[in-house]
Amino acid sequence: MATGEEYSTRGIRVYIPFGQGWGTAIRIVAGKTFVYCSLYAVFALFLLGLLPYFFSIPNIGNGLYIVLLMIPYLIATSFLGLAASRYFTDSEAPLLMIAFFSVGLIFLSGVSYPMELMPWYWKAAHYILPAAPGTLAFVKLNSMGASMADIRPEYITLWIQAGIYFLLSIWVYKKKLN
């Protein structure tokens, strides 16, 4: 939503005095990611730590494993948002996309519909968005008592996504600076 406002007000021009090269794009992406991940880490702590405690929701997951899972998940999600910001020219469009895709992402995660029964193209889509492997890994950790070794495929997928979306977001911000 912030990048939609940045697009409409031409706020990206604030960074032009620092240069229009790759270094400036990396600094912008790193700075924005740090802020977004810090904010969402607080939300994650509240939603995944405090709410289950306050409402006595049963969880058998190891808190350290959940924190370790949240690190690549938040980073990959932040980089994906920055990479996708190229296509959102107003601040309302991301909310509509979230509402449109949220139910499908639940099925795509493999929690409510088994991955083994999905066609190949839905299995491929599972590896594109961080929400799908992140949700599956969280359910394994928190509801099934899995260890980090049990969620290794999802964990590695999240780190690969973080790397790919980092490069994409740098490319997007390089284009925005030009």
Q: Say how many domains are in the chain.
A: 1
Amino acid at 67: V
pLDDT of residue 167: 96
Half-sphere exposure of 49 (CA within 13 A, CB side): 13
Convert the pLDDT of each residue in 85-102 to its tens digit: 877 777 677 778 778 888
Higher-pLDDT residue of 15, 100: 100
Phi-psi region of 10 (alpha: psi -120 to 50; beta: other; left: phi over 0): left
The span from the CA of 37 to the CA of 104, in Å, is 24
User: Residue 58: which domain range?
Assistant: 2-177
Say what the pTM is.
Answer: 0.84
